């Protein structure tokens, strides 16, 4: 097992004594470093936004944490087995999916999460962009290495959408709908989207990057007209850390079940939350559009679309628009 990074260890010790001071000596002993090294770590934590009191002869006390998606914050008390056991946090990147994809190529471990406060070139599906204003939303990408054929990956995207739905419900009490396979809607407006990218051969996945964007405290000026945010829908500021943790925890469970082939209950929940089953839709894909009646989601997470001539097709991916 690798040692915890020093900042994380210091925070852990300070958090374990919320009302008391932790002496410099105790920190030095635990980390096996000098006093001046401890001081440097305290300064680096302060520069990340932590408020730490220093009192002569008594030590240090943590009095405030930043509402930033820092790895130290996300991993604190995160109840997962696999997802987020390694978190890399950034202030600004072009796209967390691109960073995670590069890490995937370099052999980074499964479950690694790349998170950023903002993105300059956030990517959406079908070549669109995902507006990612700094400090307002959750923008992260999860690296996975399932030993499965590429055909099973669309179901994974749907399960990621279900994780977002569960987390939003847990934190806000609002129940979002899933617009198969990867959009979350509140009052018919998009609050979250998922972009899954993978590196694969014909019958073997090398790795998958599940990129999730959630509009949390995003204001209308940043959103497209069909978009919304949790703040707009609830009327209140939502702290991003508990929401992000809840999402990672929900996905951790669903991903474990997915690998074990146990997805019946999750798919039933997706059907119940579906915004499109039983309606007429157009499906936009890379090579064109199709129109039909959304009959069901099958056991592999594919959409069953019935055309006017009665023929039913299994759709594995696409962007849906509800017609009537
Ligand atoms: C869509 O709805 O079209 C998908 C949006 C996906 C956005 C997320 S934000 C984090 C990750 N990084 C990206 O560049 N895109 C995804």
Q: Which helix (H) or strand (E) holds 291?
A: strand 288-297
**Burial class of residue 165 in the structure, from the number of CB atoms within 10 Å of its CB (0-12 exposed, 13-18 middle, 19+ buried):** buried
Is any atom of ligand 1 closer than 6 Å to the C-beta of 124? yes
Q: Which of these CATH numbers, 1.10.10.10, 3.30.470.20, 3.40.50.720, 3.40.50.10440, describes 7-64?
A: 1.10.10.10
Question: Mutation test of ligand 1: which of 115, 191, 193 has the most ligand atoms closer than 8 Å to its C-beta?
Answer: 193
Domain boundaries, given as residue ranges, for the chain = 7-64, 71-273, 280-323
Query: Each residue's pLDDT tens digit in the chain (324 positions)?
Result: 345 678 889 999 999 888 899 999 999 999 999 999 999 999 999 998 899 999 999 999 999 988 899 998 999 999 999 999 999 999 999 999 999 999 999 999 999 999 999 999 999 998 899 999 999 999 999 999 999 999 999 899 999 999 999 999 999 999 999 999 999 999 999 999 999 999 999 899 999 999 999 999 999 999 999 999 999 999 999 999 999 999 999 999 999 999 999 999 999 999 999 999 999 999 998 888 999 999 999 999 999 999 999 999 999 988 898 887
Report the distance separating Cα 283 and Cα 139, nearest Å. Answer: 26
Nearest CA to ligand 1 atom 2: 193
CB 161 within 8 A of CB 178: yes
CB 213 within 8 A of CB 115: no
Is any atom of ligand 1 closer than 6 Å to the C-beta of 157? no
Pick from 265, 111, 285, 303: nearest CA to 294: 303
Q: Which residues pair with 2 in a beta bridge?
A: none
Which SS3 state, helix, strand or coil, does residue 107 take? Answer: coil
Is any atom of ligand 1 closer than 6 Å to the C-beta of 128? yes
What kind of fold does domain 71-273 have according to CATH?
Answer: BirA Bifunctional Protein; domain 2 (3.30.930)
Q: Rounded to the nearest whole angstrom, what is the distance from the C-alpha of residue 13 to the centroid of ligand 1?
A: 35
Q: Rounded to the nearest whole angstrom, what is the distance from the C-alpha of residue 76 to the centroid of ligand 1?
A: 25
Is any atom of ligand 1 closer than 6 Å to the C-beta of 213? yes
The answer to whether the Cα torsion of 154, 274, 175, 284 is positive or negative is: positive
Q: Rounded to the nearest whole angstrom, what is the distance from the C-alpha of residue 42 to the centroid of ligand 1?
A: 34
pLDDT at 2: 43
Query: Which atom of ligand 1 is the closest one to the Cα of 98?
Result: 14
Residues in contact with 238: Cβ distance below 8 Å, sequence separation at least 6, in sequence order: 171, 172, 216, 217, 230, 231
**Is the N-terminal amide bond of 181 cis, ω within 30° of 0?**
yes
Report the distance separating Cα 172 and Cα 86, nearest Å. Answer: 27
Q: Rounded to the nearest whole angstrom, what is the distance from the C-alpha of residue 124 to the centroid of ligand 1?
A: 5
Q: Which of these CATH numbers, 3.40.830.10, 2.30.30.100, 3.40.50.720, 1.10.1040.10, describes 280-323?
A: 2.30.30.100
pLDDT at 140: 98
Q: What is the pTM of this model?
A: 0.91
Long-range contacts of 129-134, Cβ-Cβ distance < 8 Å, separation of 24 or more: 130/193, 130/195, 130/213, 131/222, 131/223, 131/224, 132/213, 133/218, 133/222, 134/91, 134/92
Q: Which two tokens stand for residue 176?
A: 């979002």
């Amino acid at each position: 097992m690798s040692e915890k990074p020093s900042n994380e260890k210091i925070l852990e010790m300070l958090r374990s004594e919320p009302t008391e001071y932790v002496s410099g000596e105790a920190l030095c002993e635990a980390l096996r470093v000098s006093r001046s090294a401890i001081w440097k770590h305290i300064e680096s934590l302060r520069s990340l936004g932590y408020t730490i009191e220093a009192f002569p002869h008594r030590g240090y006390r943590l009095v405030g944490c930043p509402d930033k998606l820092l790895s130290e914050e996300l991993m604190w008390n995160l109840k997962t087995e696999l997802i987020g056991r390694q978190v890399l946090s950034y202030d600004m990147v072009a796209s967390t999916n691109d960073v995670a994809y590069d890490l995937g190529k370099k052999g980074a471990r499964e479950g690694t999460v790349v998170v950023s406060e903002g993105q300059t070139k956030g990517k959406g599906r079908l070549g669109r962009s995902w507006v990612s204003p700094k400090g307002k939303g959750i923008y992260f990408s999860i690296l996975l290495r399932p030993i499965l054929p590429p055909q099973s990956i669309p179901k994974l995207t749907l399960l990621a959408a279900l994780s977002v739905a569960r987390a939003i419900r847990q934190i806000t009490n609002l129940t979002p709908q899933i617009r198969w396979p990867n959009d979350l809607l509140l009052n018919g407006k998009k609050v979250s989207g998922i972009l899954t990218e993978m590196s694969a051969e014909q019958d073997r996945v090398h790795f998958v990057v599940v990129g999730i964007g959630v509009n949390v405290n995003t204001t209308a000026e940043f959103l497209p007209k069909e978009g919304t945010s949790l703040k707009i829908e609830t009327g209140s500021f939502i702290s991003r850390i508990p929401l992000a943790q809840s999402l990672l925890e929900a996905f951790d469970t669903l991903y474990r079940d997915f690998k074990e082939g146990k997805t019946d209950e999750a798919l039933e929940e997706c059907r119940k939350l579906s915004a499109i089953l039983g309606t007429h839709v157009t499906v936009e894909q890379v090579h064109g559009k199709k129109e039909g009646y959304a009959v069901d989601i099958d056991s592999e997470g594919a959409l069953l679309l019935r055309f006017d001539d009665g023929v039913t097709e299994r759709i594995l991916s696409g962007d849906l628009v509800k017609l009537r």
